[in-house]
Amino acid sequence: MKVLIPSPLRSYTEGREIEAAGATLAAVLADLDRRYPGIRFRVVDEQDRLRPHVRFFVNGEQVLDLDRPLAPSDEIQIVQALSGG
């Protein structure tokens, strides 16, 4: 499935749009981390919770559950809030 990567994470993937596989959001993140080591830790914390500044959208719908079932035709967008002053 297609995964859209935000600018702050592109240093891992070197691309804006990549392909990944998995039956759930957690499985897709595991697939990404196998190919791009360290990317999962940037979006999921040590307790397996989504980091507060990261949002996932599947086909335009916000997803808060890593166990969300996915279809191969789904599109995932990772959005990372930026802060600063």
Domains defined along the chain, listed by start? 2-80 (3.10.20.30)
Map tokens 């499935």 to a residue.
1
pTM score of the predicted model: 0.90
**pLDDT range class, residue 81, cuts 50, 70, 90:** confident
Both tokens of residue 1? 């499935």
What's the pLDDT score for residue 84?
Answer: 57
Contacts of residue 20, Cβ cutoff 8 Å, sequence gap at least 6: 1, 3, 28, 31, 32, 76
Q: Which amino acid is at 67?
A: D
**Cα–Cα distance between 82 and 74 in angstroms, integer?**
26
* HSE-up (13 A, CA, CB side) for residue 4: 13
**pLDDT range class, residue 77, cuts 50, 70, 90:** very high
